[in-house]
Amino acid sequence: MSIPLKLLVAVAPFIFTVLFGWLTMEGHLNFGGGEKDVFLLIPLLLWSLVYFCCFLALWRRRWALGRWLGWSAGIATVAIVVAWLVLLGASAIA
């Protein structure tokens, strides 16, 4: 697989996040929260950032493409769940 295609796979979640944000801000996607709908972008942006970092680290280690995709997505998902649990625990303490 060529390097530009690998980079496109690594950056695809960021592209999706920008598209999702634009559709939400323009009102094409409406989740019933008004301006609060934009807060849905925060977990997606965090997921995209962790995915990108893991993707690059595993690419540098020369893992196979299928392993990168699976591990990068899994690690990013676990990071989102851990961040959510930390925020939930912090709000319960306060």
pLDDT at 31: 83
pTM score above 0.85: no
CA trace torsion 10, 24, 36, 88 (10° rounding): -30
Task: Give per-residue pLDDT as tens, 34-83.
Answer: 778 888 889 999 999 999 999 999 988 988 888 888 999 999 999 999 99
CB 36 within 8 A of CB 26: no
Query: Per-residue pLDDT for 1 more than 80?
Result: no
pLDDT band at 85 (very low <50, low <70, confident <90, very high): very high
**Residue 33 φ/ψ, nearest 5 degrees:** -105, 5
Question: Which residues lie closer than 8 Å to 25 by C-beta, 6 or more apart?
Answer: 38
